[in-house]
Amino acid sequence: MATKKTQTSADVFEFPAFDVAKMTDGYREMADKSVNQTKEAYAKVKTVAEDATKAIETTLEKAQTGTVELSLKAIDAARGNVEHSLSHMEALLGVKSVAQMFELQTSFFRKQAEMMVDQAKVMQEAAKKVSEEVSKPVKSVAEKAINETKVA
């Protein structure tokens, strides 16, 4: 026959042994882990913020350079138009007949239209180049952040 051990009320309501040293060690480990995770997160945020700041600075520098470049192209276009108009005015002063005047006017308008098309192409190419240069730093930082987020 098997003997059945009976539990006393003291056995049923007995509290487990409480070791304060183990508890403090557990809290210490949890606190250390939390501090390390916070430091790592701060380092990542700091790096991203520094990269973003550098990208913005570079973007502003490139925008300024691009604006100067576009302004110089616009000044060159205006200079070419003024020179062309002044040379046309000089030619008109030497006109001997109405037919010659119409011929000068026609060639002037044709040349002016060609110049405008060329100037528009030059400005379009310059604006495209500037916009690409301005967007490069921000684009690279964004791609880097996205790639780091995917890895994490």
* Predicted TM-score of the model (pTM): 0.65
Whether 13 has a pLDDT exceeding 70, the answer reads: no
In contact, 134 and 63? CB cutoff 8 Å: yes
The pLDDT tens digits of the residues spanning 93-144 come to 999 999 999 999 999 999 999 999 999 999 999 999 999 998 888 888 888 8
